[in-house]
Structure 1
Amino acid sequence: MSRRTDEPPMRARIPADVERPDRVVFGMTWHQLVILTITGLLLYVAWTVVATLVPPLLFLIVAVPIAGAAFFLAVGRRDGISLDRWLLNAVRHRQAPHRLVPADGAIYPAPAWVATTAGPGDRLPLPAPLQLPARGITADGLIELGSDGTTSLVSASTVAFGLRTATEQNGLVAGFARWLHSLDGPTQIVVRARRVHLTHLADRLLADAPGLPHPALEEAARAHAAFLDDLAARRELLHRHVTVAMRSTRGPRHTVHQAAETVRALSGCEVAARTLNREETASVLASALSPSPHLGPVIRTPAPDFGESEHL
C-alpha cells in the first residue's frame, strides 16, 4: 500500500506573545487598570479640593488632557512593551552613564587636572564599570547569570525544508511544534549570517595539486581552485549559524537536562544539534560581542585531505 504524498502542508499555531498578561475588564490588564484608577482618584481628589474655587468647565478643560494622557499611557505600546514602561526605560537610559569600561570595582575620582576644553570648571564625567549579564562559564559550558540562573547554548544546523514533500514537511513541523510546546523556560533562537572565505582553501588546493597521483587529478584540483577564486571574487558567501539559548533558574542540572532534551527533540526533526562545551560557548559569546557591523566573525572552511584517493 503506497503512502500518500499529496496531503496539504500542516500548520502549527504558536502564540506570538506567550507572556502576554491576562485581560481582566474591558480588554485591559491589571497594570492598565491600576494606571487609570490612580489617575481617576487623583482627578476626583483634585475636584473635591477646588470645587468651590474653580468653575466646572475650567476644571474639565484641565482634566480632560490629563485623563487622555493617562489613557494613552496605559493602552499605548512601543517596541512590544507598554508605553509607561517604555518611558521609564527611556528615563533610566537617559540618566545612566553612557561611558562604560571593564573594571573590577568602583572607579575612583579622577585627578584634578582631568578637564575638557570647554573650561577649567567643565569636568569630564567618569566612566562607569561595565557589568555584563554573564558572570562566567562553568566547566559544563553553562553561562552563569547570577540571580537570573544559568544558560546553555546548543548549536543547530538548518534543514532544506522546501525540498521535502508535503508529508515530510508535516513531520518536520510536528516535531518542531512538539519541541516548542515542551519548553518550560525562556528560550531564544539566534540565526547569524557570517562571511565565508574560500581563498585559503583555493591556496591549499593549488599547493597540494602537484602531489596528486595522476595528472587528471592535478588538473581537476587546479580547475576547482580557479572556480573557488572566481566564486569568492564575484559573490559574498555567507554561512548561517543557528544557536539555541535556554535559560533556567532551577539550577545547573536542570539547565543541562533541558539542553539534552533540546538536542534529542531537534534530532527528531533531522536537525544536527549538539550542546556547546566551555571553549565553544566562550567563542560564541566573543563573536556576539564582535565589533563587526553586520556579519560577525569569519568562518574558515576546512580544506579537504587528498592523502588517499577515496577522499575525492
Structure 2
Amino acid sequence: MSRRSDEAPMRARVPADIERADKIAFNLSGRQLVILAVTGLLLYAAWTTVATLLQPLVFLAGATPVAAGAFLLAVGRRDGISLDAWVLAALRHRHSPRRLVPTDGPVVPAPAWVQTTAGPGDRLPLPAPLRLPAKGITSDGLIDLGSDGTTSLVAASTVAFGLRTAGEQNGLVAGFARWLHSLESPVQIVVRAQRVDLTYLADRFLAAAPTLPHPALEDAARAHAAFLDDLARQRELLHRQITVAVRSRRGAPHAAQRIAEVVRALGGCEIPARVLDGPDATVRLAASLKPTAPALAPYPTPDGGDDR
C-alpha cells in the first residue's frame, strides 16, 4: 500500500527513568522509606535503652554517623543501581566461591595427605560446582534450560531507519509494534558493540592475491589489504551484533514454530534475520562470556551470509 510522501512521522515520548520506583511520600520510594523508618526505629529503641546512662549529646554524636549512613544507603546510587542493592551484590560476591568447576554432583575433597597450601593446617577451600542456566545445545540450536524450557537464538541485522521517508518509517515502526504486541512468552533483544579486527580480512585478501587470474587484480587485492591495515590503525571500528532470544516452555516443536514466526515478523520489518544452529549458537554464547574480545570482520560468502 502506498503512503503519502508528506506523511508525518509517528513519535512517542518514552521517559528515560521508566524503571524508576514510584514515589510514595517525601519524594521517596517505598524501599527508601523502609530503610529510613527501620533505622529511625532502631535508633529510638537504642535511645530509650540508654537514656538514663548517656547524655543526649553523647548519644547524638554516636547516632549521627548511623543515621547518615542509612540516609546515604537509601538515596545513594552507584553504577546505575541503588546503593543498598549494590552493597548486597558486593556482599554476595564477597562470600561466593571464587573457584567453580563443571560437575553434576558435589566436589570430592582431596585426600588428607595432599598438600594444598604452604602453611601447615591451612587448606585451600574446595571449588564449588558450576551451575549454568543452559544444560546443552542441540544441533538445531535449541538451548535446553531444564525446567525453564528451551531458548532459540536469532541473529538479526539493522535497518537504515534515518534514510527512509516518513511513511516508510511509520510502516517499519507499525510492523515492529505488531510483532511486539503478538508476543506471548519472554523474548530478549541483546545488542552488543564489539571492536572489529580487520587483520582477519587483510590476511584473507593477501593470501588470495597470488591466485587471482590477472596481475591488476592481485595489485588491487594487496592495495585493499593495505587500506584495511591503515584503517585499523587510524580508527577504532565497532561491529554491532544483535541477537533475539526466544523462550518456549512447550517443547521443541512449539519452539521451532515460535522462532519461525520471529524470523517472518522481522522480515516484514525489512530486518534480515536467521536462526542460529547449534554451532553458531555455541559460538555466540561463548563470545558473550568474553565481551571484551575483538570481533572478526565478517567475510561475505556467495549465499549472502558471512564467514567468521
What TM bracket, shorter-length normalisation? 0.7 to 0.9
- Aligned partner of 2:197: which letter? R
CA distance in 2 between partners of 1:5 and 1:57 (Å): 75
- Aligned partner of 1:131: which letter? R
Root-mean-square deviation (Å):
3.5
- Aligned partner of 2:222: which letter? A
Greater Cα shift, 75-84 or 4-13: 4-13
Residue segments in structure 1 that go unaligned for 5+ positions in a row? 211-217, 306-312
Tell me which residue corresponds to 1:213: none
The alpha-carbon deviation at position 87 of structure 1 amounts to 0.7
- Aligned partner of 1:188: which letter? I
Matches within 5 A, 1:87-166: 87-111=87-111, 112-117=113-118, 119-138=119-138, 141-146=141-146, 148-166=148-166
Tell me which residue corresponds to 1:308: none
CA distance in 2 between partners of 1:17 and 1:255 (Å): 34
Does the Cα contact within 8 Å between 2:205 and 2:222 map onto a contact in 1?
A: no
CA distance in 1 between partners of 2:251 and 2:34 (Å): 35
Change (3 A) 1:153 1:10: same
Does the Cα contact within 8 Å between 1:22 and 1:29 map onto a contact in 2?
A: yes
Tell me which residue corresponds to 2:263: 263
Matches within 5 A, 1:1-312: 5=5, 10-16=10-16, 18-111=18-111, 112-117=113-118, 119-138=119-138, 141-146=141-146, 148-176=148-176, 179=179, 185=186, 187-193=188-194, 194-196=196-198, 197-198=200-201, 199-204=203-208, 206-207=210-211, 209-210=212-213, 218-219=214-215, 221-236=217-232, 239-247=239-247, 259-290=259-290, 293-296=292-295, 298=296, 301-302=299-300
The alpha-carbon deviation at position 152 of structure 1 amounts to 2.8
CA distance in 2 between partners of 1:103 and 1:277 (Å): 26
Residue segments in structure 2 that go unaligned for 5+ positions in a row? 304-308
Secondary structure of 1:24's aligned partner: strand
CA distance in 1 between partners of 2:251 and 2:40 (Å): 45
Identity across the alignment (%): 57
- Give the number of equivalent residue pairs: 293
CA distance in 2 between partners of 1:186 and 1:21 (Å): 23
Tell me which residue corresponds to 1:215: none
CA distance in 2 between partners of 1:304 and 1:37 (Å): 66
CA distance in 1 between partners of 2:32 and 2:254 (Å): 35
CA distance in 2 between partners of 1:176 and 1:192 (Å): 22
Tell me which residue corresponds to 1:214: none
CA distance in 1 between partners of 2:76 and 2:279 (Å): 44
Change (3 A) 1:224 1:107: same
Give a deviation string over 1:157-187, Cα, whole Å, max 9, x none: 1223343344434444454455556666362
The alpha-carbon deviation at position 259 of structure 1 amounts to 4.0
Does the Cα contact within 8 Å between 1:203 and 1:225 map onto a contact in 2?
A: no
Does the Cα contact within 8 Å between 1:23 and 1:30 map onto a contact in 2?
A: yes
TM-score, length-scaled by structure 1: 0.75
- Aligned partner of 1:231: which letter? F
Does the Cα contact within 8 Å between 2:9 and 2:167 map onto a contact in 1?
A: yes
Secondary structure of 2:154's aligned partner: strand
CA distance in 1 between partners of 2:130 and 2:33 (Å): 37
Greater Cα shift, 195-204 or 155-164: 195-204
The alpha-carbon deviation at position 147 of structure 1 amounts to 5.1
Change (3 A) 1:250 1:304: closer
The alpha-carbon deviation at position 241 of structure 1 amounts to 2.8
The alpha-carbon deviation at position 71 of structure 1 amounts to 2.0
CA distance in 1 between partners of 2:188 and 2:29 (Å): 25
Secondary structure of 2:192's aligned partner: strand
- Aligned partner of 1:301: which letter? Y
- Aligned partner of 1:191: which letter? R
Change (3 A) 1:123 1:86: same
The alpha-carbon deviation at position 247 of structure 1 amounts to 4.6
Does the Cα contact within 8 Å between 1:143 and 1:151 map onto a contact in 2?
A: yes
CA distance in 1 between partners of 2:65 and 2:252 (Å): 52
CA distance in 1 between partners of 2:254 and 2:61 (Å): 58
- Aligned partner of 1:52: which letter? T
Does the Cα contact within 8 Å between 1:115 and 1:121 map onto a contact in 2?
A: no
Tell me which residue corresponds to 1:309: none
The alpha-carbon deviation at position 80 of structure 1 amounts to 2.6
Change (3 A) 1:244 1:254: same
Change (3 A) 1:98 1:261: same
